[in-house]
A = this chain, B = another copy of it.
Amino acid sequence: MATSRQVAQLAGVSRATVSRVLNGSPRISAEARDRVHAAMKALGYEPDVVAQNLARQRSYMIALGLYHEGEELAISTLSRTENYYYLDMIKYIDRGVAAAGYDLFLPSLAQNKAPENYIRSLRARRIAGTIMLALDLADVRIQALLQSAIPTVFIDTRGQGEHATYVDSNHMDGARQVTEHLLSLGHRRIAIVTGPLTDPASTERLLGFQQTLAHAGIALDPGLLCLTGWNTDEAYRATRTFLEQRHDFTAIIAGSDMMALGILRALHERGLRVPQDVSLTGFDDLAISQYIVPSLTTVKADRETMSKGAVQRLMALVEGEDAVPPLIVPSQLIIRESTGPAPSPSMQEK
């Protein structure tokens, strides 16, 4: 590996000049610039990122955290079905961050063992900022992050602070759309199988559901509310238990597409057909949702817009802007095979 010293020598300039050329300083003569560029080419010079980071006292790395209640803040959790939703987001985040000249860093488990060191370890790496996915605002590490001066954008959690803002989808409106869709198909007894209400996304959706029902003159039956975890397996198990107690509904709104997959199986095992016997909807619109049989009616979260918005906001925070406003992205209902008219022996049409 060639060093800036060698480049300087070959170009017949000082290392300071090499550095200036490298960093696109304006006060440099065209001639010096050309000589340095030629020398860099000749030597195959690539600046030492580690040394740059030390000298500049900052790095061009963005930490990416992933979090679900009780879980670690690590990429490991990506393999959990409840996190498939984040895969595209990571794609767009990676691209956005790369375009801005940053790299993604994934803090691993080792650092999470001592929560009180979380911030310190980010600092020790001169992390420029962090993007946090799906987390629990009450977590001590998150609180520490909010207190710190580290620029942060939260996705799917509404964390705000002097150096923090968020990006989220409009859960309430999504719930409204899907509820109206089911109502228009004649469904009156609609069950909800969703994630814990400690998660604001669940609560907002529940609210949208409730309001829409109320508009239609229908009271929410608390016995049709089934709370469970966000992943496929938990939804599957919860639905099995739920079906043993109740089956006087004609539709289920699942908290996510991956949950819907588990619910679909539970219904299947019970001999209930979708959508002939029960209509089923999800949230998210994952890649697989259009392929499963039946394909899934769902509320699409515009993850591309959210991710790009997150990167753009993070860069603003990194540049020193404060009071960066949050972004709420619209949700969109996508109708597929899993929803159909309410079966006739159900409630009468209005």
Question: Which residues of A are interface residues toward B (Cβ below 8 A)?
Answer: 1, 44, 46-51, 53-54, 59, 74-79, 81, 84, 87-88, 90-91, 94-95, 97-99, 101-111, 117, 120-121, 123-126, 232, 236, 258, 261-262, 264-265, 268, 287-288, 290-293, 295
Q: With A120-B44, A293-B264 as given contacts, are A75 and B94 in contact (CB-CB < 8 Å)?
A: yes
CA distance A268 to B338 in the complex (A): 14
CA distance A91 to B76 in the complex (A): 4
6 contacts between A and B (CB under 8 A): A1-B123, A50-B124, A75-B90, A75-B94, A76-B91, A292-B293
CA distance A81 to B193 in the complex (A): 26
Question: How far does the Cβ of A208 sit from chain B's closest Cβ, in whole Å?
Answer: 27
Name the B residues within 8 Å of A50 (CB-CB).
50, 53-54, 59, 124-126
Whether the pair B288, A265 counts as a contact (CB closer than 8 A) is: no
Whether the pair A97, B108 counts as a contact (CB closer than 8 A) is: yes
Whether the pair A124, B48 counts as a contact (CB closer than 8 A) is: yes
Question: How far does the Cβ of A193 sit from chain B's closest Cβ, in whole Å?
Answer: 14
**14 further contact pairs, Cβ within 8 A, besides A1-B120, A46-B124:** A1-B123, A44-B120, A49-B124, A74-B94, A76-B90, A76-B95, A79-B88, A79-B91, A94-B108, A104-B108, A105-B106, A232-B291, A236-B291, A292-B293
CA distance A97 to B75 in the complex (A): 12
Q: With A288-B261, A291-B261 as given contacts, are A125 and B49 in contact (CB-CB < 8 Å)?
A: yes
Where chain A touches its partner, the secondary structure class is helix
Q: With A78-B91, A79-B88, A90-B76 as given contacts, are A295 and B265 in contact (CB-CB < 8 Å)?
A: yes
Whether the pair A109, B124 counts as a contact (CB closer than 8 A) is: no
CA distance A103 to B108 in the complex (A): 6
Name the B residues within 8 Å of A124 (CB-CB).
1, 46-50
CA distance A255 to B259 in the complex (A): 26
Question: How far does the Cβ of A5 sit from chain B's closest Cβ, in whole Å?
Answer: 15
Name the B residues within 8 Å of A87 (CB-CB).
78-79
Q: Which of A51, A102, A291 has the most CB of B within 10 A?
A: A291
Instruction: Name A121's contact: one of B46, B99, B261 (CB within 8 Å).
Output: B46
CA distance A101 to B59 in the complex (A): 20
Question: How far does the Cβ of A231 sit from chain B's closest Cβ, in whole Å?
Answer: 9
Whether the pair B98, A110 counts as a contact (CB closer than 8 A) is: yes
Question: How far does the Cβ of A74 sit from chain B's closest Cβ, in whole Å?
Answer: 6
CA distance A261 to B292 in the complex (A): 7
CA distance A295 to B317 in the complex (A): 47
Whether the pair B106, A104 counts as a contact (CB closer than 8 A) is: yes
Name the B residues within 8 Å of A47 (CB-CB).
124
Name the B residues within 8 Å of A54 (CB-CB).
48, 50-51, 54
Whether the pair A262, B236 counts as a contact (CB closer than 8 A) is: no
Whether the pair B293, A293 counts as a contact (CB closer than 8 A) is: yes
Of all chain B residues, the one with the shortest Cβ separation from A89 is B79
Instruction: Name A46's contact: one of B74, B88, B123 (CB within 8 Å).
Output: B123
Whether the pair A109, B95 counts as a contact (CB closer than 8 A) is: yes
